[in-house]
Amino acid sequence: MTIILWGVINRKFTVKDAWGFIKDFYADWFPDLPKYKAFNKRFCYLSDGFRVLCDILLNKISDSLALPITTHLIDSMPIIVAKEKRCKRAKVAKEICNMGYCDSKKMFYYGVKLTAIGQSQHKTLPTPRKMLLTPAASHDINMAKEMLQDVYGIGLYGDKAYINEKWQSYLLDQQDVKIFTPIKHEKGQKPLESADKLLSTAISRVRQPIESFFNWLQEKTNLEKASKVRSAAGLLSFVFSRIAACCLIMIGAF
C-alpha cells in the first residue's frame, strides 16, 4: 500500500511503474519486495484495505473543518475502463461495470461512476464529505438518494440531473435539505425568462468548484483512465488507492 500510494502521488500511475521505481532505487527499503506478477496480484487483493483507508482519511478531513458550512455541492465523474469503440464488447470487471453515458463529455463508455458530495469552501476546492462508486449506468438521483439518507440541514447544489420535484420536496420536509439546480428547459418550451436565466447561471457558478475538484482529482491521479484494469478487485484497488492518495495530499501528509 505504501508503494502504491507513494507511486500515485509521484505520478507513477501504473502498478508496474511504481513497483519498477522502488525496485531500481529503493530496493534496500523493501527487502521482501516480490516480483512484479506477485506484487500486482497482491495489489488487487488490497481493495478492502484501500477502501477503509479512504473512510478514515475522509473522516479526518471532515473533522479538520473549522466551521459548519451548510452549502454543499454534488457531481459525478466517469472512470473509463473502455471507451466508445470498445464499450459494447467490454467484459472486464462486469460485476461492477456496465455501459453508461457521460453528458459532460458527450460519450458512451464502459466502467463505473464516482459521485462526490463536497462542502463548499471560499475560493478553493470543496472539501469531500462523501463518495460513492457505482456502475456507469446508475442514475444520478438514485446515487444522491443513497448518499443523503443520513444528511440533514444543508443546501445542495447540483446539475439538471438532480431535478425531481417529489424527491426534492421530501428532502426539504423530512431532512431540511434544499436542492438547488439550474432550471430545466423542456423540449418545445418557450425560452427561459431573464430571471430564470440569471438564477440558472448563479447556481451553475456555485457548483462549478465541484467540477474543478474532479479535474484536480484527474490531474493528480489519472483516475479517469482505467483501461489497464483486468478485474473487479483490480478496479476497486485502482479507484480507492487514488482517492486515498488525494486525501493524503489534502491533509498535508505529502
pLDDT of residue 94: 94
The mean of the pLDDT values for the chain is: 91
pLDDT in tens, 10-20: 999 999 999 99
Count H helices, E strands: the chain?
9, 6
pLDDT > 70 fraction of the chain, expressed in percent and rounded: 93
Say whether pLDDT at 254 is over 60.
Answer: no
pLDDT in tens, 155-178: 999 999 999 999 999 999 999 999
Q: Coil, strand or helix: which one is 127?
A: strand
The single-letter DSSP state of residue 153 is: S
Residue 52, amino acid: V
**147: closest CA among 157, 133, 135, 127?**
133
pLDDT in tens, 130-140: 999 999 999 99
pLDDT of residue 188: 58
pLDDT of residue 191: 62
Contact 133, 112 (CB under 8 A): yes
**44: closest CA among 244, 243, 238?**
238
Can you tell me the mean pLDDT for 93-117? 94
**Phi–psi pair at 76, nearest 5 degrees:** -140, 160
pLDDT of residue 88: 86
pLDDT in tens, 201-246: 888 899 999 999 999 999 999 999 999 999 999 999 999 999 999 9
- pLDDT-derived band at 68 (thresholds 50, 70, 90) equals low
* Residue of higher predicted confidence among 240 and 199: 240
pLDDT of residue 104: 87
Contact 114, 132 (CB under 8 A): yes
**158: closest CA among 133, 138, 178?**
178
pLDDT of residue 34: 95
pLDDT of residue 213: 96
Q: Where do the structural domains in the chain lie, given as residue ranges?
A: 68-226
- pLDDT-derived band at 22 (thresholds 50, 70, 90) equals very high
Q: Is 206 exposed, middle or buried (0-12, 13-18, 19+ CB in 10 A)?
A: middle
pLDDT of residue 236: 97
